[in-house]
Structure 1
């Protein structure tokens, strides 16, 4: 059940810095668990979310480039930290600092993914994250095709990381988590 057609309200939901949003997915990104903080911020119920793609909360301002990069990292067995803007069922939005890791079975095989999200530093979002995400979105949208837009965004992000001589996680933390 996707809520992608919910009109954006422009209202930002905030949550306490002590609260942690938790969700788990299977290998394809379908939600297998969410805590009450996740459901409350998303304005959804467990029934709305279980066995639904995690992108049910995806905000249209979020660059596809960041999610592509995220998926590349976690599928390869790495953890990643990323700032994400999500959309609630009613069209409100909320920013998070996500820490996403692969979940493994006793044999070390990746069997799903686990994400903990905390309240981000709002000044950092305004000054550094949102401008970067606007750049990436612009590259994605001005390309000749969605596939080319994603490639342009990834190439731009990788150039930034090369210039800074940093990994994505290092860049996120250097910005001042």
Structure 2
């Protein structure tokens, strides 16, 4: 599909943040499946999305190094979490935390990836957005390698964790602050963890 150049609009798209966005890709990132929440949120039809590279929704505010870390981790056979700002068809944006899992065939060969995305608490966005802007600025001025070196040094010196661990920590900290009436008498999300957050629903569509 030949996607026309989109004008970027600094406006969040309206979507049901109680739902989970689900997609499946092959090992090259080509979309094989998109649920209704995905197509409704990104403003493309499912038919338009299938067969397209997943970067059809990549927002220009996202530094490339984040996706490099993502793919490097998946290629090692490890699951991954990422906080991503995505781009809709009309140029709007939406922030999600993504849980990537690896799909294998009966012989254990990696055949693709499944991604489940949920809305990101505003507190997490406020913490991650300045870092992404710095990485993007370095990328534009000094190149992707310089951005990667800064990212690695930042995680080591200021966080002391891998990117995946950093994301989980940020997310769980924010979830613990945003307890609702629904969960006051239940086990808190920070104890249940991200696995509950992504798979606790009975119907992700």
Normalised to the residue count of structure 1, the TM-score between the two structures is: 0.91
Q: How far has the Cα of 1:3 moved from its partner? A: 3.6
Residue number in structure 2 paired with 1:58: 58
Counterpart-to-counterpart distance in 2, 1:100 and 1:78: 9
Q: 5 Å matches for 1:141-152?
A: 141-143=140-142, 149-152=143-146
After superposition, residues 68-147 of structure 1 pair within 5 angstroms as 68-126=68-126, 128-143=127-142
**1: distance between equivalents of 2:2 and 2:12?**
20
- Structure 2 partner of 1:146: none
1:169 maps to 2:168: no
Task: Quote the offset at 1:108 in angstroms.
Answer: 1.6
How many Å separate the matches in 1 of 2:110 and 2:4? 29
Q: Compute the TM-score of the two structures, normalised by the length of structure 2.
A: 0.79
1:36 aligns to 2:36 (yes or no)? yes
Structure 1 regions of 5+ residues with no counterpart?
A: 144-148
Whichever of the two has the greater Rg, that structure is 2
| SS in structure 2 of the partner of residue 169 of structure 1 | helix
Alignment partners' CA distance in 2, 1:4 and 1:122: 30
- Name stretches of at least 5 consecutive residues in structure 2 with no aligned partner: 173-205
Structure 2 CA distance, aligned partners of 1:4 and 1:140? 25
Q: Measure how far apart 1:132 and its partner are.
A: 0.6
What do you get for the CA RMSD once the two structures are aligned? 1.4
Cα 1:48–1:73 shift into 2, 3 Å: same
Question: CA–CA distance in 2 between the matches of 1:4 and 1:168?
Answer: 33
3-state SS of 2:51 partner: coil
Q: How many residues align?
A: 171
Q: Cα distance 1:56–1:150, how it changes in 2: closer, same or farther (>3 A)?
A: same
Correspondent of 1:159 among 131, 137, 153: 153
Q: Does structure 2 conserve the Cα–Cα contact (< 8 Å) formed by 1:4 and 1:56? A: no
Q: 1:4 and 1:159, CA in 2 relative to 1: closer, same or farther beyond 3 A?
A: farther
